[in-house]
Amino acid sequence: MRPEDLDVALRPRSSWEAMELGTALLRRHAGATWRPWLLATLPLFALCNAAAWMLGRQWLAALLMWWLKPLFERIALYVLSRGVFGRAPGVAETLRAQWRFGAGAMPGYLLWRRFSPARSLLMPVDLLEGSAAAQRRARRRVIGGPAYAQAALLTWTCWLFELGLALGAVSTVFLAIPVDLLPDSLRSFWTMLRAGTPLPVQLGFNAALWLAATVVGPFYVAAGFGLYLNRRTETEAWDVELAFRRLRERLLARAAAPLAVAVLLAGAGWLPLPARAQAQVADEQAPATLEQAFGAPLADDARFRDAATRAYRDPLLSGKRTLVEWRPKSEKERRPRNRPDLSGLAALLARLGEWGLWIVAGVLLVVVIVTAPRWLRWLRGSVRAPRAPAATVATVPVAMPDVLPDDIAAAARRLWQAGRPRDALALLYRASVESMAAQAQVELPPGATEAQCLRAARRLPLAAARELFARVVRVWQYAAYAGRLPAQDEFDALLDDARAHWGWRG
């Protein structure tokens, strides 16, 4: 790696500035990063969801895509590591390079280093430097030491961004629901999640998680790569090296200028001997003495000696430095003479503590096994086998007359006593709707739902009538959709109240 070929300005930065440098580099090469990312992850997303659908465990697809994120992050790291030198690779080149790029270090990032909070900072060490395993461990300690906390905070922040984007994508669906129906829709959505999520909804959740990882993942890699470049600049003094190289180039150019002038003059005939030009250049390149610089020999001045002494005392100019380090005292100084030796007792207590911890761990394991029947059912859909599909519920159509009978209460009671409670409740609900519409002076659309009828019932002048109509609707919904029929006493009381409030003939 040649620091002089870098396409960014190298200087010591804070960790937050280094992260911003990485994101700026990503914005410069956004197309070269996201195109191969999408081409690599989209087929894998479809394959994982298809396999999970065949197994009946759709959540496995989301878990597998999350676990394979280090493989996807290689794509962004490959593009940025080439783009920092001013050459962004093409899509085909990036995808072909993934078969061998960092192949030796990736098993660790898919197994024991998968949960490393500083993965974005340490992955460039293993994938870009290509050193041996022992050298990689030492390099990880050097690179990740001072910036480990910032890298961990970066991981936590990006994870929160992914979660926020996924939840935002799911919540966007509810923006199309009217405000009046939003509470019922949220309640139905929560009931659906508890009862069992349908396959399209699970696919939508997985797609939202994949989209969030696709948006945030390259920024996470770029910020970590910026931290890596900053740590290399700090530990290897790249900025100082580049400054010295630029200084050397200027000195060489300045030294070559008189020689070029002498050659031109000799070629034009002004100087007959090229040796004189070389001697003149040698004289100009020779260092000037103190007499040449100041014009006269310096006297033994006391002020000059004091200034030189103070200069040599400066820590930046002097070759001396003070080093403070902690060293343990000798064994004789550390151990008091009259204090008894308690090393044996300490070893015994340590052994007892160790066995005590093993006993506690065994007791906890036994408790977990004994109480498994109680908490295992909470892991619904993850460890138990899928339940057999419920039997199809047979629905019986309710036959309603075109014209309501004169004595609605008597007709509903006859249907109830004849063993047709759903027909009786349907007649009661239909008659209540027509009576409510007449008293509220509203006109309901054909096929009005229960919710529309309840909103229309708010115009009833009496609160008792509004409460009665709400009771009728609730009893009808329980019977029609949940199969819960009221008791005989409850039905008779509801029928009597409806006849009294709606003015039905008895």
Best-predicted range by mean pLDDT (35-44, 396-405, 439-448, 477-486): 35-44
Residues 154 and 256 both lie in one domain: no
Residue 379 pLDDT > 70, yes or no?
A: no
Range in 148-162, 180-194, 355-369 the model is least confident about: 180-194
Classify residue 10 by its DSSP letter: -
Looking at 236, 266, 294, the residue that finishes a domain is 236
Residue 326 lies in a domain: no
Residues 224 and 281 both lie in one domain: no
357's enclosing H/E stretch is: helix 343-370
Residue 17 lies in a domain: yes
Residue 378 lies in a domain: no
Residues 123 and 157 both lie in one domain: yes
Residue 308 lies in a domain: no
Average pLDDT value for the chain: 77
Contact (Cβ atoms closer than 8 angstroms) between residue 428 and residue 495:
yes
Residue 494 lies in a domain: yes
Residue 293 pLDDT > 50, yes or no?
A: no
Residue 296 lies in a domain: no
Domain count of the fold of the chain: 3
- Which tokens is 159 given? 């994870």
Render pLDDT for 388-406 as a digit per residue (tens, 0 to 9): 655 554 455 555 556 777 7
Mean pLDDT of 15-32: 90
Placement of tokens 């090296």 in the chain: 241
Q: How confident is the model at residue 75 (pLDDT cuts 50, 70, 90)?
A: very high
Residues 118 and 199 both lie in one domain: yes
Q: How far is CA 302 from the centre of its chain?
A: 68
DSSP assignment string, 242-278: HHHHHHHHHHHHHHHHHHHHHHHHHHHTS-S-HHHHH
- List all residues 6 or more positions away from 36 whose beta carbon is below 8 Å from its beta carbon: 75, 79, 91, 94, 95
Residue 117 pLDDT > 70, yes or no?
A: yes
Best-predicted range by mean pLDDT (107-111, 127-131, 214-218, 475-479): 214-218
130 Rama class: left (phi>0) / alpha (psi -120 to 50) / beta: left
Segments in 56-90 forming alpha helices (H): 59-67, 69-83
Domain carrying residue 435 = 408-502
Residues 269 and 209 both lie in one domain: no
Render pLDDT for 231-277 as a digit per residue (tens, 0 to 9): 888 877 655 665 666 666 666 666 565 555 555 555 544 444 444 44
Is the alpha carbon torsion for 484, 488, 494, 495 positive or negative? positive
Residue 22 pLDDT > 70, yes or no?
A: yes
Could you give the CA distance from residue 212 to residue 491 in angstroms, rounded to a whole number?
Answer: 53
Could you give the CA distance from residue 415 to residue 194 in angstroms, rounded to a whole number?
Answer: 37
Residues 198 and 271 both lie in one domain: no
Residue 38 pLDDT > 90, yes or no?
A: yes
What does the pLDDT read at residue 259?
Answer: 55
Residues 276 and 420 both lie in one domain: no
Residue 307 lies in a domain: no
Residues 232 and 271 both lie in one domain: no
Placement of tokens 């405000």 in the chain: 179
- Which tokens is 291 given? 């007499």
What does the pLDDT read at residue 224?
Answer: 92
What does the pLDDT read at residue 187?
Answer: 74
Residue 439 pLDDT > 80, yes or no?
A: yes
3-state SS record for 440-465? HCCCCCCCCCHHHHHHHHHHCCCHHH
Mean pLDDT of 280-306: 53
Classify residue 490 by its DSSP letter: H
Mean pLDDT of 42-46: 93
Comparing 492 with 257, the larger pLDDT belongs to: 492
Residues 220 and 267 both lie in one domain: no
Residues 270 and 418 both lie in one domain: no
What does the pLDDT read at residue 183?
Answer: 75
3-state SS record for 318-340? CCCCCCCCCCCCCHHHHCCCCCC
pLDDT > 90 in the chain, percent: 16
Residue 260 lies in a domain: yes
